[in-house]
Amino acid sequence: MEISVRFPGNRKVDAELRGFTIATDQPKGAGGDDSAPTPFEHFLSSIATCSGSYVLDFCRNRGIPLEHVRLVEKITRNPETHMVTDITISIELAPDFPDKYRDSLVRAVDLCTVKKHLMNPPRFAIEAVKAP
């Protein structure tokens, strides 16, 4: 897989992959136009949406309606370093959600690929090369 990055202006940085453009920007207070989520917000939302994909598949495979199911990701940061220390994912279930599936649903969400990569991070190599 290859992701190409472009710089469309001001503090905007866009990623291009598989024919899609993922737009990012910085808040106005950081000199941006606040026209898109920041790269870090995309990172955090990738955890939530990956988890949501597992909720979606779990419920669809069992014929469980999703209209009253919601996933909420809460972020806790260290006040000194501003680094994320805790991520809590709450799956808000409909009142009639079958109790027999509650633990299985949590286990399914625990399979999130993004989370698994955070638990076993890849190696990074950064290089500067001249364009062809």
Note the pLDDT tens digit of each residue in 48-97: 999 999 999 999 999 999 999 999 999 999 999 999 999 999 999 999 99
Which pLDDT score is estimated for 3? 96
pTM here is 0.90
Using 50, 70 and 90 to split pLDDT, how confident is the model at 19? very high
Contact 13, 24 (CB under 8 A): yes
Please name the helix (run of DSSP H) or strand (run of DSSP E) that holds residue 6, with its range, or none: strand 4-9
Integer CA distances (angstroms), 45 to 39, 42, 80, in order: 10, 5, 23
Which pLDDT score is estimated for 108? 97
Which pLDDT score is estimated for 132? 85
Angle CA 55–65–109, to nearest 5: 10
Mean pLDDT, residues 10-34 taken together: 97
Using 50, 70 and 90 to split pLDDT, how confident is the model at 15? very high
